[in-house]
Amino acid sequence: MDIEKKINSLREELQQHNYNYYVLDKPQISDYEFDVKMEELQKLEEEHPEFKDENSPTQRVGGAVTKNFATVQHEYRMYSLSNSYSKEELEDWEKRIRKVIDGKVEYVCELKYDGASISLTYENGILQKAVTRGDGFQGDDVTNNVKTIRSVPLKLKDDYPVKFHIRGEIVLPYEGFAKMNAERVDVGEEPYANPRNTASGSLKLQDSAEVARRPLECLLYSIVGKDVNVSSQFEGLEKAKNWGFKVPAQSELKDSIDEVLDYINYWDQHRHDLPYETDGVVVKVNNFHQQEELGHTAKSPRWAMAYKFKAEQESTKLKKITYQVGRTGAITPVANLEPVQLAGTVVKRASLHNADQIEKLDVREGDTVFVEKGGEIIPKIVGVDFTKRDPDSSPTQYATHCPECGSELIRNEGEAQHYCPNTTGCPPQIIGRIQHYISRKAMDIEGLGGETVALLVNADLIENYADLYTLKKEDILPLERMAQKSAENLINGIEKSKEIPFERVLFALGIRYVGETVAKKLAKHFKSIDALMAASEEELINLDEIGERIAWSVVDFFKTEANVQNVQRLKEYGVQLEISAEKLANQTNILEGNTFVISGVFEKVSRNELKKLIEDNGGKVSSSISSKTNYLVAGDNMGPSKLAKAEKLGTNIISEDDFLKMLE
């Protein structure tokens, strides 16, 4: 056998053994035999570098060093999931699905593993990129580190699509975690706190050889892309197994919510028998056409729900209540606790939310309190052990003045939180607003992080986000940990932010109650900041989904002279404060005043493209038919009850072609 054939044969054999061991958990040769074959391949590759292949099994050991992890835009957004904590919430979710979907609905139940989310991109069967979830829109390129994980295939098998993305969770099994900690303790180092944080931190290690030494695993659960030739979630899981991915065997297809609840009850009892951390069950509508029909909210898919297992609870002593000031001036009371171990982490602080919550629970300094992790992420106080209360204790008196600037706090009628009204002179508000402005979903200023913002404010270099555009390299070089290259990156990042589109700038301004979705709606309707500034409360309230609270907040924001001045300065510096001419050219008001429901499968444009066409031309998309629906755009395989309801209400039923003619 010639050398090239011998090398390729060894690679294929080792890849198969790797798959048998790390994916199927069914090794067919001993570790010793595997190591002998690996050494033989390494020797041959060293002697014949002309046959080098970066996807060879020998490359799993790592060695590449990544100083800075590049930010990569996700081709398909990675949404977060809505959470439920009870049978009733799941049943309510099913009722919402039934209002939109006709006929049979199947559900896929998958265990929710507690690790670090990842998106893998494959082209022609080869791993091209591994990107962290980040903010869902973009994440960090950690390809070199992920390539060292043995359960991530570098080359696929069988009938895989030409290009696709597959999402999963990178986890650290209990056994491997315990072994890592034992080794750390042996050499006198602090043990790691929990598997989840260790797995997540591993992905951002600069040396991939260090990552290779950690027993990480990757469990895959979702295929995304065009032309993937998969019609359902469960079919996707089965195909992913055939292509070489490690797909958890515990995933099951169910016919009803009752069966889903049986699955949840079983795993709530047996989850501790698993080799990995789990914190719940993810339930998904199986059929992809039905998923499309259900669509997404601004943050999560309507076709999926995470059921969270009951949080762990511990008791500890509340030493002191302090108060934090947010960027909007909102005051959050914080319980400072005697440290307590909870769900794998040491908890020292917990949120008390607001004055009403403190009064409701009757929480006092010195109390023994019960602490939970809400969804096992954010610690919260859920009760007081009154049997251990000091009889001389007195009720908590809520703060009357801002802990940072001393201003008297205000509380608006109908609101739970107190606020510091000193928007322009309270340091945490100043820093918080600028940190929000530069954040990923807003202006996404590369080279500028939250700590650097605080340094800039404390050094009196900036007082608001408009001041960012006056910074020069020589201003920031004297700052702590600021080298020449860092300073250049920061200035370039600020300059590049001038290309960010209007709707994201509007979100970045930090107007209370104006999140991403509301910012898009306002930008689309008013088209420029000047038109929005001139709008009355009445005009705003007349817009779909803009209530009195948002309308009042927008008008109030532009009543403040400092805010108006900052906006004018941003305009002068070249920040995008109106919709671009190119974007406007693709928008009309042809469909204004009309509400559309889309149902079925379409040939010429996808469902998402249909929605965009409706919205770009002034129409509104609804998920269910009502007396307010003007048109039902009917595709193939549309549910019969939706059609019957449209006919009963006298709704105009049109085809895909009819709709496209409306736009001509």
Over residues 306-328, the pLDDT tens digits come to: 998 877 788 999 999 999 998 88
Overall average pLDDT of the 515-520 stretch: 88
Q: How far apart are CA 207 and CA 188, in angstroms?
A: 22
The residue extents of the domains of the chain are: 3-61, 83-308, 311-421, 427-499, 502-584, 595-662
- Report the range of poorest mean pLDDT among 351-355, 495-499, 584-588: 584-588
The SS3 assignment for 402 reads: coil
Tokens of 320: 């002191």
CATH code 1.10.540.10 for 502-584? no
Q: How far apart are CA 213 and CA 148, in angstroms?
A: 9
In this model, does residue 654 exceed pLDDT 80? yes
Q: How far apart are CA 61 and CA 46, in angstroms?
A: 15
Query: Taking Cα atoms as reference points, which of 151, 129, 148, 153 lies closest to residue 139?
Result: 129
Q: How far apart are CA 113 and CA 248, in angstroms?
A: 10
Tokens of 201: 């931190």
In this model, does residue 636 exceed pLDDT 70? yes
CATH fold match for the domains 427-499 and 502-584: yes
First-to-last alpha carbon distance for the chain, in angstroms, is 66
In this model, does residue 547 exceed pLDDT 90? no
Separation in Å, CA 275 to CA 195, 203, 205, 217: 11, 20, 24, 11
In this model, does residue 375 exceed pLDDT 60? no
In contact, 396 and 365? CB cutoff 8 Å: yes
* pLDDT on residue 377: 58
State how far Cα 510 lies from the chain centre: 20
Over residues 166-219, the pLDDT tens digits come to: 999 999 998 888 888 888 877 777 778 778 888 988 998 888 888 888 999 999
Query: Taking Cα atoms as reference points, which of 220, 113, 211 lies closest to residue 165?
Result: 220
In angstroms, what is the C-alpha Rg of the chain? 28
The CATH number of 427-499 is: 1.10.150.20
In this model, does residue 516 exceed pLDDT 90? no
Q: Mark residue 529 as left, alpha or beta (left: phi above 0; alpha: psi -120 to 50; beta: remaining).
A: alpha
The CATH number of 3-61 is: 1.10.287.610
Per-residue burial over 405-426, b if 16 or more Cβ lie within 10 Å, else e, is: bebebeeeeeeebbbbebbeeb
3-state SS string for 196-261:
HHHHHHHCCCCEHHHHHCCCCEEEEEEEECCCCCCCEHHHHHHHHHHHCCCCCCCCEEECCHHHHH
Q: How far apart are CA 461 and CA 477, in angstroms?
A: 12
Strands 631-634 and 595-599, by their bridges, are parallel
* pLDDT on residue 421: 92
Q: How confident is the model at residue 91 (pLDDT cuts 50, 70, 90)?
A: very high
Computed over every residue of the chain, the mean pLDDT equals 88
* pLDDT on residue 353: 87
The two counts, helices (H) then strands (E), for the chain are 25, 20
The SS3 assignment for 58 reads: helix
**252 vs 664 pLDDT, higher one:** 252
* pLDDT on residue 64: 66
Strands 83-84 and 331-342, by their bridges, are unpaired
Q: What percent of the chain has pLDDT over 90?
A: 49
Q: How far apart are CA 347 and CA 382, in angstroms?
A: 14
* pLDDT on residue 286: 97
Overall average pLDDT of the 256-276 stretch: 91
* pLDDT on residue 105: 94
- Report the range of poorest mean pLDDT among 465-474, 499-508, 629-638: 629-638
Instruction: Please name every residue paired with 596 in a beta bridge, in sequence order, or none if there are none.
Output: 621, 631
Q: How far apart are CA 357 and CA 381, in angstroms?
A: 10
Q: How confident is the model at residue 22 (pLDDT cuts 50, 70, 90)?
A: low
In this model, does residue 378 exceed pLDDT 60? yes
Q: How far apart are CA 438 and CA 444, in angstroms?
A: 5
In this model, does residue 341 exceed pLDDT 70? yes
Q: How far apart are CA 656 and CA 633, in angstroms?
A: 6
CATH of the domain spanning 83-308, picked from 3.90.1170.50, 3.40.50.720, 3.30.470.30, 2.130.10.10: 3.30.470.30
Q: How far apart are CA 181 and CA 185, in angstroms?
A: 6
Q: How confident is the model at residue 663 (pLDDT cuts 50, 70, 90)?
A: confident
Q: How confident is the model at residue 277 (pLDDT cuts 50, 70, 90)?
A: confident
In contact, 418 and 403? CB cutoff 8 Å: no
Amino acid at 478: P
Q: How far apart are CA 614 and CA 631, in angstroms?
A: 11
Q: Is 524 a catalytic residue?
A: no
Q: How far apart are CA 128 and CA 119, in angstroms?
A: 11
- Report the range of poorest mean pLDDT among 32-46, 251-265, 463-477, 529-543: 32-46
**69 vs 64 pLDDT, higher one:** 69
Over residues 120-150, the pLDDT tens digits come to: 999 999 999 999 998 888 899 999 999 999 8
Overall average pLDDT of the 640-647 stretch: 84
Over residues 568-596, the pLDDT tens digits come to: 999 999 999 998 766 666 677 889 889 99
Q: How confident is the model at residue 376 (pLDDT cuts 50, 70, 90)?
A: very low
In this model, does residue 387 exceed pLDDT 80? yes
Q: How confident is the model at residue 62 (pLDDT cuts 50, 70, 90)?
A: low
Whole-model pTM? Answer: 0.70
**648 vs 374 pLDDT, higher one:** 648
From the candidates 5, 99, 112, 308, give the one annotated as an active-site residue: 112
Query: Taking Cα atoms as reference points, which of 297, 319, 318, 260 lies closest to residue 89?
Result: 260
* pLDDT on residue 557: 94
Q: Mark residue 179 as left, alpha or beta (left: phi above 0; alpha: psi -120 to 50; beta: remaining).
A: alpha
Q: Which superfamily does 595-662 belong to? A: BRCT domain (3.40.50.10190)
Q: How far apart are CA 519 and CA 172, in angstroms?
A: 39
Over residues 214-235, the pLDDT tens digits come to: 999 999 999 999 889 999 999 9
* pLDDT on residue 25: 63
CATH of the domain spanning 311-421, picked from 3.40.1050.10, 2.40.160.40, 3.90.1150.10, 2.40.50.140: 2.40.50.140
* pLDDT on residue 1: 58
Overall average pLDDT of the 95-107 stretch: 90
State how far Cα 576 lies from the chain centre: 26
Per-residue burial over 282-304, b if 16 or more Cβ lie within 10 Å, else e, is: bbbbbbbbbbbbbbeeeebbbbb
Q: How far apart are CA 571 and CA 131, in angstroms?
A: 35
